[in-house]
Amino acid sequence: MKIIQSKRFRAQLSKIVEFITEHSKDTAENFKTSFLREQASLALCRINLVDQKALTMIKLKISYSRVS
């Protein structure tokens, strides 16, 4: 699975890190590093066929909800 970081995602992550930095710069850096590490590990996960079907159903539900 490939995770794409959009400009919006990066901007929102930056805002979160800036907010945390107001309290502690070290905590903000640890948060960002841990978050990106977890995101990378998710990208390495393999999704089995059942999970792919479930993911498709979730996407369809989200698309349907947006149209309704």
- The domain ranges of the chain are 7-67
Q: How confident is the model at residue 15 (pLDDT cuts 50, 70, 90)?
A: very high
Q: How confident is the model at residue 68 (pLDDT cuts 50, 70, 90)?
A: very low
- Residue in the structure block whose two tokens are 């901007």: 11
Rounded-to-integer distance, Cα 51 and Cα 39, Å = 18
Rounded-to-integer distance, Cα 5 and Cα 62, Å = 20
Is residue 36 within 8 Å of residue 17, measured between CB atoms? no
Rounded-to-integer distance, Cα 7 and Cα 38, Å = 19
Q: Tens of pLDDT along 22-61?
A: 999 999 999 999 988 888 877 666 655 567 677 777 777 7
Q: 27 Cβ partners below 8 Å, 6+ apart?
A: 20
